[in-house]
Amino acid sequence: MKKVSSHRDLETENKLLLGSWGDPFEDVTDKRLYWEMIKMEIRSFSLFFSKRRAKQRRNVEEVLQHELSNLQRKICLDPSEENVCKFYNIKFKLNQLSLLKTKAAMTRSKACWCEQGERNSKYLFCLERRNHSTKYISELKLSDETTATKPKEILNEEYRFYKELYTSNGACPDVPTFRQLFSQVSFS
């Protein structure tokens, strides 16, 4: 494929491509709307393609399952090497389809812990919900012994607490207790 070097080359290639398919959006003048409509067309085509491909895979799986059950009956009557070989070959193909389905499910999963074959489970969902509830402060006892339940009050109290915590109390190195505390410490 050749590298597109300029805007005119890109327009020319678009015209050639759209000329072969026909441009259903030739009346659209706004480039942003045109782009959105092209994305919509691509999405609809990819959905159609994906559904058709999934249906074909399901059909292949059904045929393989049917052949596997027929071969199981044949093996019971005639356990020849040829029948056993066909049986394991079909079983291998079914396992490959199963692995493909598993990989697709793992890809669709939004969880990061599915990398090593772990699966989503009720335990992990409950654990995440519990962790959220432990991180969220719903009630806070204020310095004046009252209780704050509104998020804004809680944030203000947290701000006040940490501001007071990290504010200098005016400890001056000229104070005798300061000199006494650090007189034995060597800073070299």
Instruction: For residues 64-78, give the mean pLDDT.
Output: 87
- Could you tell me how many residues make up the chain? 188
Candidates 127, 153, 156; CA nearest to 139 is 153
pLDDT of amino acid 78: 82
Q: H helices of the chain, where?
A: 7-21, 31-77, 81-108, 122-135, 151-166, 176-182
pTM above 0.85, yes or no: no
pLDDT grade for 22, boundaries at 50, 70 and 90: low
Number of alpha carbons in the 13 Å side-chain half-sphere of residue 7: 0
Measured N-to-C along each axis, helices 81-108 and 31-77 cross at an angle, to the nearest 10 degrees, of 150
In the predicted model, what is the mean pLDDT of the chain?
76
More confident residue, 55 or 117: 55
Q: Cα(52)–Cα(62) distance, rounded to whole angstroms?
A: 15
pLDDT of amino acid 170: 64
Handedness of CA 64, 65, 67, 72 (dihedral sign): positive
Q: Evaluate whether 70 touches 86 at the Cβ level (below 8 Å).
A: no
The DSSP element (H or E) to which 141 belongs, if any, is strand 140-141
Candidates 133, 115, 131; CA nearest to 123 is 131
The DSSP element (H or E) to which 148 belongs, if any, is strand 147-148
Q: Evaluate whether 31 touches 22 at the Cβ level (below 8 Å).
A: no
**DSSP tag of 173:** T
pLDDT of amino acid 155: 85
The torsion angles phi and psi of 28, rounded to 5 degrees, stand at -80, 125
